[in-house]
Amino acid sequence: MDTALRQLPLPRPELYAFSRLDLITAGFYAAVAAFFTTASGLLGPLLLQLSPNPAVASYAVNLFFYGSIGLLALAAARRVAGRDLRVLATRPWFTLLMVPVAVVAAMVLTAVLAALAGVPQTSANQAGLQALMQQVPAWLMVPLLVVVGPFVEEYIFRHLLIGKLSRKLNIWLCCALSVVLFAALHIVGQEALTLPVLMPYLAMGATLVFVYVWTGKNVMFSYFVHAAKNLLAVIFIYAIPPEILEQLR
């Protein structure tokens, strides 16, 4: 296993202490996620008040939610993100090579787990995203799904749940929590938690946890992998005609 990044100096411990801004950001994220989970039926009328087009209203709500959390997360993790970018800049070829390798590994792991779980199923979250992307242009979806969304999720599920929480709990327990919560939060409140539906998110979560820990808790590397995977999905959905995509699904 390549240990290129691990040969660099260990991260400063003070960067992994929970701050007040971390708690505010995580609390805000959990509160909004809980609202979407428990009161999703109330969203329909609220969305229609924002716009007569449900897709536009849904996009606006998601952009506001992830944009607000993203600004808080960037403020909270700016020193760690800056340090991690400087670390990656010392190994540019490693970064350029391993990001696509990690994306392919996530896809292979998804296929293997889906085969073991039985007939693959498309989650309501994925189906909703595909429907939304058929009505919202790519130049609007890319900032949300490729830039902001992955950073928020890497900050919450990797930087906080592993990087910082592992100072208080066993790191392998933190990794397991990260994988399970990452997968569950993508479908909870929309459908039953079944293995065929969970598998793509479990595979992606496991891959992101692995690359995060393997690179010495480098949140920007896991962010680049996450963003690249989402970008590939966006290109795939926009490049394939809707009728063919429906047949594939």
**Residue of 235, 22, 24 lying closest to 145 (CA atoms):** 235
150 or 35, higher pLDDT: 150
- Are the C-beta atoms of 209 and 179 separated by less than 8 Å? yes
Q: What are phi and psi of 163, to 5 degrees?
A: -55, -45
Convert 2-15 to b/e letters by CB count within 10 Å (16 or more is b).
Answer: eeebeeeeebeeeb
Report for 37-46, 135-144, 161-170, 183-192: range of highest mean pLDDT: 161-170
Give pLDDT tens digits for 227-242.
999 999 899 888 876 5
Give pLDDT tens digits for 31-42.
988 877 776 556
Q: Is the pLDDT of residue 157 over 60?
A: yes
DSSP state of 42: G
pLDDT at 51: 62
Give pLDDT tens digits for 59-92.
888 888 899 999 999 999 999 999 999 999 998 9
Provide the residue ranges of all domains of the chain, joining segments of one domain with +: 14-248
Give pLDDT tens digits for 8-31.
444 567 789 999 999 999 999 999
Give pLDDT tens digits for 189-234.
555 667 777 888 999 999 999 999 999 999 999 999 999 999 998 9
Q: What are phi and psi of 199, to 5 degrees?
A: -50, -50
User: Whole-angstrom Cα distance, residue 10 to residue 216?
Assistant: 8
Which pTM value belongs to this model?
Answer: 0.87
248 or 205, higher pLDDT: 205
Convert 25-49 to b/e letters by CB count within 10 Å (16 or more is b).
Answer: bbeebeebbeebeeeeeeeeeebee
pLDDT at 165: 96
